[in-house]
């Protein structure tokens, strides 16, 4: 498929990424000096603050829309069950994407192992203060213990590229659904309409940044930038050079990357948008809702949830969905119940993913 960037067993390294290893000991260089972990009180404070933000936003939605417990019974239970399966399907598809990126980097990992780690990452991303980043750290940490010395960098970088593919696809999906639903957006109240247009402009800029990252290795060919990058490499023991080589490797597999970005845009996020559509149409007494506006609600909610500050996106995702639904003419009950139910289902999926961590027999380090 592509050149490898880590050794397989005793084979000679085939990829272009220079592995910073110490020949005499076989131990891997650390790119940066290891930082002391945050004290327990600081971690606890972050946890409390993020939990408080999420709880506060959810309380605001419930109180301002006068939501009662019985209102949640208005949604067809079969629609809730189908939403649960949709989120699981999206997680499985994301695990498949990461598996192919690991293979491109030459990292030894079975298909089942990659999907299992993806599920574990989902659990920790929802229940660790670090959010999605916390889930990625756990995934990288577990797989790194099973990877021979010299390949850990490639594990981390595969997660980074996987995130870039997902982020690029999310931005394209958001901009695409907003363009398709422009007539719907034109009927929004001025405040919501202008806010969404500003968000689209920011997302357009972020998409340009994502594209630039995939060509960042070309900076080494410009003398001005190369001078500063060489200084940074001397300080960080070739971290930037290895990252640039890894970027170049993945870019040579551009068909794979474009294929996954297209699949994520056209399949993954529509699957993730199905829970909103299912619950909107499974709401007792509610009119039929078209899929594309519901998909736009989901894309906006997922984008807002990616902003740090809440507990795994809980709260920020809900308020974004609630405001979008209100702007589209959903009732107060619908715009309050549906986003919260989607979050509850997401958390239940994440909680069930803990089973993959509990029964992961390969948590212990694998012998090289």
pLDDT tens per residue across span 303-319 = 998 887 677 788 899 99
97-111, 225-239, 249-263 — which is least confidently predicted? 225-239
For residues 358 and 170, the model is more confident at: 170
Query: pLDDT band for position 4 (50/70/90)?
Result: very low
Domain ranges of the chain: 77-358
pLDDT for res 135? 76
Please name which of 92, 72, 83 lies closest in space to residue 274, comparing C-alpha atoms: 83
Q: What is the mean pLDDT of residues 325-330?
A: 94
Q: With cut-offs at 50, 70 and 90, classify the pLDDT of residue 363.
A: low
pLDDT in tens, 121-169: 898 888 765 555 667 888 888 887 777 766 777 888 889 899 999 999 9
- Predicted confidence (pLDDT) at residue 18 exceeds the cutoff of 60: no
Quote the pLDDT of residue 345: 95
Distance from C-alpha of 330 to C-alpha of 212, rounded to nearest angstrom: 39
Q: Is 310 helix (H, G, I), strand (E, B) or coil?
A: strand
Tokens of 192: 């919501």
Sign, CA torsion 337/307/346/300: positive
Q: Are 269 and 169 in contact (CB under 8 A)?
A: yes
Query: Is the backbone of residue 315 left (phi > 0), alpha (psi -120 to 50) or beta?
Result: left
Q: Given this model, what pLDDT does residue 237 score?
A: 78
Could you tell me the CA-to-CA distances from 8 to 3, 15, 114, 248 in Å, in that order? Answer: 12, 11, 18, 20
DSSP one-letter code for 133: H
Tell me which of 31 and 317 has the higher pLDDT: 317
Token digits of residue 309: 């500050």
pLDDT confidence tier of residue 109, bands split at 50, 70 and 90: confident
């Amino acid at each position: 498929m592509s050149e490898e960037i880590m050794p397989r067993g005793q084979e000679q390294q085939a990829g272009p990424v220079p592995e910073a290893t110490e020949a005499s000991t076989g131990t891997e260089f650390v790119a940066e000096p290891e930082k002391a972990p945050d004290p327990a009180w600081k971690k606890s404070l972050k946890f409390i603050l993020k939990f408080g933000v999420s709880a506060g936003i959810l309380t605001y939605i419930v109180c301002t829309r006068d939501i009662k417990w019985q209102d949640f019974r208005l949604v067809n239970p079969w629609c809730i069950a189908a939403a649960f399966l949709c989120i699981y399907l999206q997680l499985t598809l994301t695990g498949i994407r990461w598996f192919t990126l690991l293979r491109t980097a030459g990292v030894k990992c079975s298909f089942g192992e990659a999907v299992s780690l993806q599920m574990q990452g989902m659990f920790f991303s929802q229940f660790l203060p670090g959010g999605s980043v916390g889930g990625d750290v756990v995934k990288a940490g577990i797989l790194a213990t099973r990877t021979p010395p010299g390949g850990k960098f490639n594990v981390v970088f595969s997660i980074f590229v996987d995130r870039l593919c997902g982020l690029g696809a999310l931005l394209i999906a958001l901009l695409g659904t907003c363009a398709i639903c422009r007539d719907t957006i034109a009927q929004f109240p001025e405040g919501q309409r202008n806010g969404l247009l500003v968000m689209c402009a920011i997302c357009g800029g972020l998409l340009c940044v994502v594209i630039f990252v995939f060509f960042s290795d070309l900076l080494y060919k410009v003398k001005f930038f190369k001078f500063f990058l060489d200084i940074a490499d001397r300080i960080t023991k070739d971290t930037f050079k290895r990252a640039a080589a890894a970027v170049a490797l993945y870019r040579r597999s551009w068909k794979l990357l474009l294929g996954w970005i297209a699949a994520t845009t056209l399949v993954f996020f529509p699957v993730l948008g199905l829970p909103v559509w299912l619950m909107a149409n499974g709401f007792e007494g509610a009119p039929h809702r078209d899929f594309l506006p519901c998909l736009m609600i989901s894309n906006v909610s997922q984008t807002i949830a990616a902003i740090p500050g809440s507990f795994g996106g809980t709260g920020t995702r809900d308020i974004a969905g609630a405001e979008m639904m209100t702007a589209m003419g959903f009732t107060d009950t619908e715009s309050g119940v549906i986003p919260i139910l989607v979050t509850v289902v997401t958390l239940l999926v994440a909680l069930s993913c803990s089973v993959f961590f509990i029964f992961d027999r390969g948590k212990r380090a694998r012998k090289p």
